[in-house]
Structure 1
């Protein structure tokens, strides 16, 4: 299928309050899912902002001629338009997605470049609960989809928190992996169903009246120019 690069920021040295407890659950589930789908999976943990850019730049320099697509999963704290490196430096999401444009990665020209983002995009609720956000965030309304054949999938809509459990991981990643493993639908149909499940069946459970029974609504921005399917590879048959 192609390469799947997973960047998972759990620890932020000097800021223990930012630790993303439960993200290892997401890491394991994503590894299992994309390996089962036939991807060459690379997991990178706790990268600084510059290292995140470097990892994607390196991926853009690979030869993807024989690949069908490229997938990147970004998991960290976030605010609208940006994501946090382990060095507590913010980096625009578009800086990361733009490393895979056709001029920089010609072997992926005309092929889907799919980004999944598990991070907050605002501060609508109490920041003291387990979420992927930092306090006092400003919103930046920029497009993260640089050109044709890109798809950016967000765990939540602009301005809102994205929920994560220390025990079971992120609701978005959990439901996304279930749908990818169980479905032979086209990618947009899969994401629409993930939106439906998370929006209609998830409620936060915090015991705090300000954040209890809150919802989450994933969304995506697509500039894909053709249908794309992520079928499970056929198992080897034996006589």
Structure 2
């Protein structure tokens, strides 16, 4: 019951699709949610409303028949060890995918633990590509990040601009296939989060990951809807202009991946 590739006809076009079967536990895979709220570093503000994001994610993935595991307030090294432990010890060959959602502070290099230390995207990719995580070989490994990637709040573009530079941490990613990285904001920029209701990125993710949409659309199509909604929702930062946050998708998936048949 491992994930396989097949060719399927859809509206006259031929797509390469990840094909999977629901195993006997009705769990497609495992979702690890790391929710960092309270930080030991004095210069790092706590993130209380992140609890709302974690609740939304847990509900939507349980509805998609994933086993959901939530860990809170992890140090950087604990992020590494928990991702390794879940990907190697909980994910089995019967599962179809692994999803890791990290809600935390971040910087242009990566994601921060509650101790203010950084875990890079390349490190996370290396962990789930290790021999210990062999059950994930050839299967989608999906990372979704709600975290700032810098301090910039750029003005809206009025004309086409040059392609954004690729961050050093992502250029260092290993060449293995079957990864998808979803970032709440583009490289170097702020990720907005309401102090009471959580982030618009996670709200949009949960809206479109609902079976109403995920029963018909592939993951890449769902994330494009998220990009469209978030980028079209201006944010007031008490500046002369309103900030339009632009999420980012980085993918080496080899075909379309569906949460539901």
Match of 1:203 in 2: 234
Residue 225, structure 1, aligned to residue 257, structure 2? no
Match of 1:65 in 2: 93
Q: Does the 8 A contact of 1:123 with 1:160 survive in 2?
A: yes
Give how far 1:166 is off: 1.0
Distance in 2 (alpha carbons) for counterparts of 1:15 and 1:35: 35
1:149-168 matched pairs, under 5 angstroms: 149-168=178-197
Q: Does the 8 A contact of 2:96 with 2:140 survive in 1?
A: yes
Cα displacement string for residues 77-128 of structure 1 (whole angstroms, at most 9, x for unaligned residues): 11123111011212212212221115341111111000001111111149xx
Counterpart among 15, 19, 40 of residue 46 in structure 2 = 19
Cα displacement string for residues 118-156 of structure 1 (whole angstroms, at most 9, x for unaligned residues): 111111149xxxxxxxxxxxx952217532001000001
Counterpart among 191, 194, 200 of residue 171 in structure 1 = 200
Which runs of at least 4 in structure 1 moved beyond 6 Å after TM superposition? none
Where structure 2 has 5 or more consecutive residues not aligned to the other structure, the ranges are 1-27, 155-165
1:51-200 matched pairs, under 5 angstroms: 51-62=78-89, 63-101=91-129, 103-125=131-153, 141-143=168-170, 145-146=173-174, 147-181=176-210, 182-183=212-213, 184-200=216-232
Distance in 2 (alpha carbons) for counterparts of 1:175 and 1:60: 26
Q: Does the 8 A contact of 2:88 with 2:134 survive in 1?
A: no
How many residue pairs are counted as aligned between the two chains?
A: 217
Where structure 1 has 5 or more consecutive residues not aligned to the other structure, the ranges are 127-138, 233-239
Moved more, 116-125 or 39-48: 116-125
| TM-score normalised by structure 1 residue count | 0.85
Distance in 2 (alpha carbons) for counterparts of 1:224 and 1:68: 14
Cα displacement string for residues 160-205 of structure 1 (whole angstroms, at most 9, x for unaligned residues): 10000012101100001100003120111111111111112x1113
Give how far 1:48 is off: 0.2
Counterpart among 23, 39, 55 of residue 66 in structure 2 = 39
| TM-score normalised by structure 2 residue count | 0.78
